[in-house]
Each structure stands twice: as structure tokens, then as C-alpha cells.
Amino acid sequence: MWVFRAILILVIIAVIVGFAVYNSGPGQTVDVDLMWTKRFDVPIITVVFWSFLLGSVVSLLLFISVYLKQSNQLRETNRAIKGLQAEVTSLRNRPIEEAKDLIEKKGGFLE
């Protein structure tokens, strides 16, 4: 499965690089208007590169936050499972006579 994922990533990168090279040229410029600045006659390959890089960084940060959240949930769940398994083990190891006495004390009766 990891081989398929690696090949897919390489194909996506090749497509992006091919797109950028195909669109690069002396007449391929755009005007970039950001909130804090304006740039005129910026080569389109620069815009594609920085957009790709910024998108990759944002995706990485989102992935890290989701990964940390899931690992924390997994750790808590494993801790709860261990506690429940210890409880089940202690209930299984309880002698039958003790269980019979507990039932009789609670007002139940055995047949």
C-alpha cells in the first residue's frame, strides 16, 4: 500500500512541475494582490511554486494536529481497556462461594 501512495505522490509532483514548466515563459506573468501588498508582473511559475509550498505546509500542520488528537484518544482508550480487562479478570477469579454469599446478602435466592 505504501508503494501505491509513493507512486501517487510522485505522479502528482510530476504533474505540478510539468504544469509550472509549461506555463513558464517570458510573457507568462500575473499581478498578485494580497491583503498587505501588491506585486506586478510576477512570473506564474513563482505563484504556482509558492501556492504549492504554502498548501503543503498548511496540510502538514492539519495532519499533525489530527494525528496528535487521534494518538491521545488511542492512549486514553487503551488505558480504559486495560482497566476494564483488569476488572473482568478480577471478577472471573472471584470464588463461587463468595459470589453465592453476595447474592444471598442482596436478598436474592438461589435455586
99 is a domain residue: yes
Strand partners, 43: 29
77 is a domain residue: yes
54 is a domain residue: yes
111 is a domain residue: no
63 is a domain residue: yes
Given this model, what pLDDT does residue 62 score?
A: 93
Radius of gyration from C-alpha coordinates of the chain: 31
Given this model, what pLDDT does residue 97 score?
A: 63
Q: Which domain holds residue 59?
A: 2-105
59 is a domain residue: yes
The series of mean pLDDT values per 10 residues for the chain, 111 residues long, is 82 82 76 87 82 87 93 96 91 70 61 49
3-state helix, strand, coil in the chain (%, to 5): 75, 10, 15
What is the model's pTM? 0.56
